[in-house]
Structure 1
Amino acid sequence: MANSPSGDSMTARIVRVLETFTAERSLQTTAEIGRRASLPSTTAHRIVDELVASGLLERDEDRRVHLGMHLWELALRGSTALRLRQAALPHMEAVQARIREHTQLAVLEQDEALFLERLSHPDAGANITRVAGRLPVHASSSGLVLLAYAPASVRERVLAGPLRALTPETVTDAARLRRVLAEVRRTGVVVAPGSVETVSTGIAVPIRDRGEVVAALSVVLPRETSPEPSIAALRDAAAAIEAALRADRR
C-alpha cells in the first residue's frame, strides 16, 4: 500500500480510523475520526468515504459514521474466535445455569485479555467486562490464566511493566506476579478477589486445543461468595469445550 508523506501506509491509516470506534464511541463525525486518528481532514474524508462505499463503515441520517455490518460479516468468516465461541457457548450456558452470575470467554490478544462472549444473570453482581472489551492480563482472572500459559517472551514482556493497578488489590509487583503465574500453572485455576473491582472475585480456568491453552473461561462472583462451586463448574465446562473442539476437527 502507498505510504503517506509521514511514512505510514494506507493500511495503517485505515486501521487507525477503525480503532477510533469503541463501545462508548460507536457514532462519530468524519472530523472527529480524523482528529482521533491523527489524519489530515482531506485524508480522513477520503478514507471514510472509501470505507463507507465498501460497507465497512456506514452513515446514519445525520451523516455520522459507525461500523458497518459488512465488517462484522468479514470478521466472522473462518474466524478461529467464532469456532471457539460456538464450541464454548452451550457449556457457558450450563455454567450460567449453575452459578447464576457472569460467565465469560477470553483469549490473549496483543498482551491483553479480549472477551469473546459474556453471559449474565439479571441479578448478577458488578462486572465491567463486555463482549469485544479488553482487560489487562495481569489484573483479570482470565488474563492471569492466559498469561500463565503464554509463551515465555510474552510473560517477560508483561512482567517488565508497567503493571497498572485497577484496584488496591491488583498485583503490580513483578516478583509477586511471577509467583502467582507459577501457582496458576500448578493448580490450573485462578481465584482473584478484588483485582478488577473490589466487590468482586474473578475465577478462571484454561481451555486447551491441541495441547495448547487457547482461551480462558471465567466467572465473576460477589466478593463474599465461596469460589468452590464455580471452580467445579468451570472445570467441567472447560473439559466439555475441549471435547467439542476435538470433535470439530474430525
Structure 2
Amino acid sequence: MTGELSPIDRAKFVAAKQAAGFVEDGMKVGLGTGSTAAWLVRCLAERMEEEGIRFRGVPTSTRTADLARELGIEVISLDEAKWLDLTIDGADEFDKDLNLIKGGGGALLQEKIVATASDQMVVIADAAKEVQTLGNFPLPIEVIPFGWQTSQSLVEETLVSMDVMGRKSTLRMNGAKPFVTDEGNHILDLHLGRIGNARQLALVLNQIPGVVENGLFIDICDRVVIGFADGKVETRDINAGTVTTDQMLFEESDNLFKDLGD
C-alpha cells in the first residue's frame, strides 16, 4: 500500500508515525488540522488498536474531530481538558528557530489556542516546509466578517512600515463564497514574500481592529519532526538543542491507509 503513496505523502506519513510515538497512555493530546495531521490521527488510531494505549484528543477543527471519532479516538473539548500534555500539528513553513506559519487549512485560531495550552508542541512536516526566512507561504490572518474590507485596508497600510517584501492581501474563497472558519470568520492571506521580523509583525497585526489572530507561531513549537520520502526522519528539539535521525521502514497497513481522502 505504501508503494502507492506519492513521495510527499511518504514523507508526511513517516513524520506522523514518528511523532505518534511521543503519545503516552493517559495523555491529553492536541490534534492538529491538515493533511499531515490527518496522517497523525490515523497513526494514533493504529497504536490504539495494536498497543492498547488510551488517550484523549482535543481536535483543532471539526474535520479533525470527525476523523478522530470515526477512528475510535476519544474526543474532548479544551474546556474539559483544561491543559494538555502535548499538541502535535503540521505547519506550512518553519525556520531554524522553529517559528512557524500556520493556517493554510483555515484553523489557525483553534490551533494556536490549543498549542499554547500544552506543555509541548511538536510540529510534523515534510522537508519542503523548512525555509531560511518565513513569508513565501501566504500568511493567513483571521478577521471578523463585519467590516472585513476595512480591516484589509488597515492591514495593508500597516504593512507599509513592516519589514516585508510584498503587501498584497486576498480574501480566501471557498468556491464563489468567502471561506468561513469554524468560528464563523474570514481569512485574509497576506502575500508577503519575505518576513524580516516575524515577532514584530505578529504583535502589530493583532492590534488591528477586526483581526482575531494571525498565523505566525512564535516561540510556541518545541520540536519539529521532518519526514523524507526515503523513510528518513529527523527530529529537532529546540530546547535540548539536539538533532536525531532515524530510518523508518514502510509496512503494509490496511487500517492506516483505507479510505484516504486527504
Alignment TM-score, normalising by the size of structure 1:
0.25
Larger Rg computed on CA atoms = 1
Higher relative contact order (CA 8 A, sep 6+): 2
- Higher percent of residues as helix: 1
